[in-house]
Amino acid sequence: MNKLEEIVARTRTEVARRRRLVPLSPASDAAPRRPFLEALRRPGLSLIAEHKRSSPSAGVIRAGLEIEDVVRAYERGGAAALSVLTEEDSFGGSLDDLRAAREATELPILRKDFIVDPYQVTESLVAGADAILLIVAALSSTELAALHEQARAAGLCALVEVHDEHELELAASVGAELIGINNRDLATLSVDTRRTLELLPLVPQQSIVVAESGFRTRAEIEELERAGVHAVLVGEALMRSADIESACRELTV
């Protein structure tokens, strides 16, 4: 069992436990969604700045920082949107992080987690997410289509994440408006930043493309923009910076 399979199996067990303990129904009084997709359509390459406490590949990334301070620094630094890791065991996140970010900033927020069950879509909506992540490699084609449609019906944007040409075809088949190309192989955890540029010509023309994993410098951002990428998701490089706001601004100005 590779790392992705391990996390997904654990997630399915944990979601089943939460469903028993905390039954949820779609909240008619949920706060209005912030326009995640529209935030990435502005001129130039948009930055999705990520709050990530730790990861399986990097271990603890940054301890001792309040999430409110981080996301406010991202907002001041020019980020177009936020990503908040909510997976607990491997990434140290929680839905409380998502709620705290929602209170601290006006930016639209992606819930970054291993979404494998309809319960999590409702959970994301209630917690204040504006978008969710759907990882094609973690889902059957039937699950992907159903979760993508559920998110759309709930008013949530879905970032459909792919790693190869086959997964990209599956993302296109469900009509994904927002496609993330992850340069990290979720089975081996290795990173190849050329993957984004290799898959980019195959993305449906109407889809917005987000480049994910491994990007750290302004030069890399400028190369992505020249290639036609619409947005880049950066977490670890920003979280490790001594001055998060300045590091964010360096990638957005």
CB 109 within 8 A of CB 59: no
Q: What is the arithmetic mean of pLDDT over 211-239?
A: 92
Q: Which of 51-55, 115-119, 220-224 has the highest mean pLDDT?
A: 115-119
DSSP string, the chain: --HHHHHHHHHHHHHHHHHHHS-----TTPPPPP-HHHHTSSSS-EEEEEE-SEETTTEE---S--HHHHHHHHHHTT-SEEEEE---TTT---HHHHHHHHHH--S-EEEES---SHHHHHHHHHHT-SEEEEEGGGS-HHHHHHHHHHHHHHT-EEEEEESSHHHHHHHHHTT-SEEEEE-B-TTT--B-THHHHHHGGGS-TTSEEEEESS--SHHHHHHHHHHT--EEEE-HHHHT-SSHHHHHHHHH-
Q: What is the CA radius of gyration of the chain?
A: 17
Q: Flag whether pLDDT at 185 surpasses 90.
A: no
pLDDT digit string, tens, across residues 135-181: 999 999 999 999 999 999 999 999 999 999 999 999 999 999 999 99
DSSP string, 136-153: GGGS-HHHHHHHHHHHHH
Q: Could you tell me what percent of the chain has a pLDDT over 70?
A: 97
The structural domains of the chain, ordered by start, are 3-21+36-252 (3.20.20.70)
The predicted model scores a pTM of: 0.94
pLDDT digit string, tens, across residues 32-75: 689 999 999 988 899 999 999 988 777 788 777 899 999 999 99
* pLDDT the model gives residue 26: 65
Of 207, 102, 224, 200, residue with least CA distance to 157: 207
Write down the mean pLDDT value for the chain: 92
Catalytic residues: 50, 52, 112, 161, 182, 212-213
